[in-house]
Amino acid sequence: MENLAKQKIIEDLLPQKFGKQGTIWVIGLLVLCSIGFYAYCRQLYYGLAVTGMRDYASWGIYISNFVFFVAISLVGSLITAVLRLSDVHWSTPLTRIAEIIAVSAITFASLIIIVDMGRPERFYNLFLYGRLQSPIIWDVIVISTYFIISLLLLYFPLLPDLKIMIGFKERNGKWLQKLYVFLGSFWKNTPAQFKITDKAINILAITIIPVAFSIHTVTSWLFATTYRPGWDSTNFGAYFISGAFLVGSGGVLIAMYVFRTHYKLEKYITDMHFDRMGKVVVLLALLYLYFNVNEFLVPAFKMKKSEEHHLLGLFTGEYAPIFWFAISTAMIIPILILIFKKGRKPKAAFVAGILVVVGSWFKRYLIVTPTLLHPFLPMYDVPASYKHYFPTWEEWAIAIGSLAGALLVITFFARIFPIVPIHETIIETESNENETHL
Amino acid sequence: MKPLLKPKAMKMKHIYKNLIIILGFLPIALMAQKTEKENLVVGVRYFNNNNKTHHLVFKTKSKVNGKFKNIPDIQLAVYITSDATKANLIGTITTNDVGDAVLLIPPAAKTEWVKSPNQTFVAVSTATKQFDESRGELAITKAKLQIDTVEGKIVNAKLVALIDTVWTAIADVEMQLGVKRLDGVLSVNETPTFTTDSAGGTTAEFKRDSLPGDSKGNLVLVASVLDNEVYGNLTAELSVPWGSKFSHISNFDHRTLFARRGHSPIWLELLAYSIVVAVWGIIIFLILQIRKIKQLGAV
């Protein structure tokens, strides 16, 4: 009986070939990536002049995209580390989803920074001649560290699953089989091996939390260490981290729904998971809303002359539509949806997740660009185009291409590896059954 | 006999003829308007520095749309005495991009300079496409400004002018008494300007006690008459040890958060490198654990 249940779990959770929908989805993403790549080639050829960035708005949607990617990557540490160390077991089927979101997002965060450079061939100078005093160097160090830790956190729990997948040689095909053998042929399910992986995962779970906090705090310091309206805040680290956990959790809600419906994983990613993840999102949205109130209400109460232009631009001026859209879609509406039990049902939670992610992307744009267009010293004797920023088609194509690229990494990962951990699910099912028998 | 053209047609022909004549002359009239040159104003100022060097400062400007605009690249021939002949030429100079030019009065002008207690300087601009030749003139009476101190930090200044070969004290001339600071002069006390008495002198108490001087505490006192119609600009300087000793401590190239690469504070380096070593140490340890798992699998 036990073996039958085990076989069923393995059968359900093994990676599946792309169906018709999956193929269309992949082709669509590849097309978006190709358009983005073409736009980037144009940018390489003609220089950053093809973008809408000028002397004042020197950071545009590339940097907002970078902050968005770094933010969403933090979910890996939340689901895998924070919940694991808190002895929360319901999140087990979501750990791999969270980790692959983290890895793909952090990969594209690194790439989009290179895209933002006018002379990418000089990137190595950052390592050769970087100043230790600069938050940019801290960001480079912490991003590469977080990437490696996330990869390890993805790899260690995958080892027992690789062993299972190697057993399906005919189903895998030649190349996948070679890959599985390369990555995990040495795994023999011995207690000594399990002991080492458990220890390694625990160490990683502890290590990734300060690194994750550092990665987004340092990203916030890229702004906060610069004396500008809207960025001159001591609160920025906490404000960024709370926002990052929110957008990451929103992303997990979307991925949960997509994988559940597409791969028919209703038994493994259940309504209970949506219910609990929904509660997590409500908590994080309230926390982020609290930080937003702090970030905007206090300066608005004082309305210092130097910040007035920037704040009024956000509240009632040029950026007001995006500002209120971001606040309502990233926080208020998702709270209103997910606070009710019905709102935490899969479909409603999926919609709330999309709202969170879309609103959060625009929130990052609002953090980066309006500040640059409201410097302390007035803009004087500059061309009219310097006073406004609107991304060119190349910027949109590259930004959308990078988002498509991140989704492509997740898609291919789910095609190659089980998106819900097989071995851990078997163990948990068995232990649940044992508890029931007792 | 019947006329060849009807009266109305003849009238039209007459109008066309006039129009052709007007249109033909219009460009010539416009060109004539264009060639009308603008007025160039040449300003001349005289400076006597510490009774040692003398120089002249010139400014070329012109009225454009009711406002004066500085005119650059104007060549000026400068003469001593109002007789602008080649024999009295003391130099030629071209104004810079803001219409300024400076000319030191050369030693060669001494013969003419000593002839009279009053002196005239003339600057004549070379005609250009835009401007006709213009002339600026300045007449001055030779004068000297002297500065001295008495005990108790009192500053004395005296103005004398050459009147009929005799240096005579000049009363009722406004002057400033100050201390030389970076790019300016700070008055010796709260009074901004002083006026000479019948003996040509003026006195002021030095009240700037806490001023930093050089490494020995020296300050430079300055007496100056500015843009006087008769005497021009006169200054006299005197170094006095009335300031506090100041030695500049430079933070340049020290280990600071704003220093260049490789000059970060030691505490930051210790903190950053120890975090990096600790975290990457853990990562390396974990990678070694993969190796260990591999070895266990091989057994």
Closest in B269, B283, B296 to A193, CB measured: B296
Residue B15 forms part of a structural domain: no
Q: Return d(Cα A117, Cα A140) in angstroms, integer.
A: 14
Task: Encode pLDDT of A248-301 as tens digits.
Answer: 999 999 999 999 999 999 999 999 999 999 999 999 999 999 999 999 999 999
Percent of chain A with pLDDT strictly greater than 90: 77
pLDDT of residue B24: 66
Residue B175 forms part of a structural domain: yes
Identify the domain boundary among B108, B141, B174.
B141
* Contact with chain B for residue A58, Cβ under 8 A: no
Percent of chain B with pLDDT strictly greater than 70: 89
Which residues does chain B have within 8 Å of residue A211's beta carbon, measured at their own beta carbons?
A: 279
Residues B271 and B189 in one domain: no
Q: Which contacts (CB < 8 Å, 24+ apart) does range A279-284 have? A: A279/A338, A279/A344, A280/A249, A281/A246, A281/A249, A281/A250, A281/A253, A281/A334, A281/A338, A281/A349, A281/A352, A281/A353, A281/A356, A282/A334, A282/A335, A282/A338, A282/A339, A284/A242, A284/A245, A284/A246, A284/A249
Question: What residue in A sits closest to B256 (Cα-Cα)?
Answer: A133
pLDDT of residue B33: 52
Residue B4 forms part of a structural domain: no
Domain A2-373+385-427 of CATH type 1.10.10.410: no
Task: Encode pLDDT of B64-100 as tens digits.
Answer: 888 999 999 999 999 998 787 888 899 999 999 999 9
Token pair of B209 as six digits: 């006690």
* Contact with chain A for residue B278, Cβ under 8 A: no
Task: Encode pLDDT of A124-155 as tens digits.
Answer: 888 888 899 998 899 999 999 999 999 999 99
Q: Quick count: other Cβ atoms within 10 Å of Cβ A87?
A: 6
- In order, the DSSP letters of A212-278 are HHHHHHHHHHHHHTS--TTT--SSHHHHHHHHHHHHHHHHHHHHHHHHHHHTT-TTTS-HHHHHHHH
Residues B147 and B201 in one domain: yes
**Burial of A93 (C-beta count, 10 Å sphere; 0-12/13-18/19+):** buried
Task: Encode pLDDT of A47-98 as tens digits.
Answer: 999 999 998 999 999 999 999 999 999 988 888 888 888 888 888 889 999 9
* Contact with chain B for residue A197, Cβ under 8 A: yes
Interface mutation vs chain A, best among B285, B293, B299, most A CBs within 10 Å: B293
Which residues does chain B have within 8 Å of residue A215's beta carbon, measured at their own beta carbons?
A: none
Tell me the sheet residues that pair with B181. Answer: B184
Interface mutation vs chain B, best among A77, A136, A138, A186, most B CBs within 10 Å: A186
Residues B259 and B278 in one domain: yes
pLDDT of residue A1: 44
Distance of residue A231 Cα from the nearest chain B Cα, in angstroms: 19
Which residues does chain B have within 8 Å of residue A197's beta carbon, measured at their own beta carbons?
A: 293
Beta-carbon contacts of B155 under 8 Å, excluding residues fewer than 6 positions away, are B147, B148, B149, B177, B188, B203, B204, B205, B206, B221, B223
Closest in B261, B264, B297 to A193, CB measured: B297
ipTM reported for the complex, 2 dp: 0.89
Q: Between residues A162 and A2, which one has the greater pLDDT?
A: A162
Residues B80 and B121 in one domain: yes
Residues B172 and B198 in one domain: yes
Which residues does chain B have within 8 Å of residue A155's beta carbon, measured at their own beta carbons?
A: 290
* Contact with chain B for residue A126, Cβ under 8 A: no
Report the mean per-residue pLDDT for chain B. Answer: 88
* Cβ distance of B279 and A207 shorter than 8 Å: yes
Please choose, from the candidates A200, A93, A90, the residue with its C-alpha nearest in 3D space to the C-alpha of residue A155.
A200
Task: Encode pLDDT of B243-294 as tens digits.
Answer: 999 888 887 888 998 888 889 999 999 999 999 999 999 999 999 999 999 9
Identify the domain boundary among B116, B141, B166.
B141
Token pair of B187 as six digits: 């008055």
Beta-carbon contacts of A381 under 8 Å, excluding residues fewer than 6 positions away, are none
Residue B57 forms part of a structural domain: yes
Residue A350 has pLDDT above 80, yes or no: yes
Residue A245 has pLDDT above 90, yes or no: yes
Residues B264 and B213 in one domain: no
The helix (run of H) or strand (run of E) holding residue B120 is strand B118-125
Please choose, from the candidates B97, B86, B96, the residue with its C-alpha nearest in 3D space to the C-alpha of residue B124.
B86
* Contact with chain B for residue A141, Cβ under 8 A: yes
Residues spanned by the domain of B79: 41-141
Beta-carbon contacts of A86 under 8 Å, excluding residues fewer than 6 positions away, are none
Distance of residue A183 Cα from the nearest chain B Cα, in angstroms: 10
Residues 240..279 of A with a Cβ closer than 8 Å to B: which?
none
Question: What residue in A sits closest to B297 (Cα-Cα)?
Answer: A186
For residue A137, how far is the Cα from the chain centroid? 21
Task: Encode pLDDT of A218-229 as tens digits.
Answer: 999 999 998 888
Q: Between residues A348 and B3, which one has the greater pLDDT?
A: A348
Distance of residue B123 Cα from the nearest chain A Cα, in angstroms: 36
Which CATH number does the domain housing residue B151 bear? Answer: 2.60.40
pLDDT of residue B41: 94
Distance of residue A422 Cα from the nearest chain B Cα, in angstroms: 20
Phi, psi of B156 (to 5 degrees): -115, 140
Distance of residue A187 Cα from the nearest chain B Cα, in angstroms: 6
* Contact with chain B for residue A211, Cβ under 8 A: yes
Q: Return d(Cα A116, Cα A109) in angstroms, integer.
A: 11
- In order, the DSSP letters of B179-238 are EEETTEEEESSS---EE--TTSEEEEE---TT-B-STT--EEEEEEEEEETTTEEEEEEE
Residue B296 forms part of a structural domain: no
Residue B30 has pLDDT above 80, yes or no: no
Q: Return d(Cα B132, Cα A258) in angstroms, integer.
A: 84
Closest in A129, A187, A207 to B261, CB measured: A129
Question: What residue in A sits closest to B255 (Cα-Cα)?
Answer: A133
Closest in A159, A186, A204 to B286, CB measured: A204
Residue B10 has pLDDT above 90, yes or no: no
Q: Is B135 helix (H, G, I), strand (E, B) or coil?
A: strand
The number of folded domains in chain B is 3
Which residues does chain A have within 8 Å of residue B290's beta carbon, measured at their own beta carbons?
A: 155
B165 confidence band (pLDDT: 50, 70, 90): confident
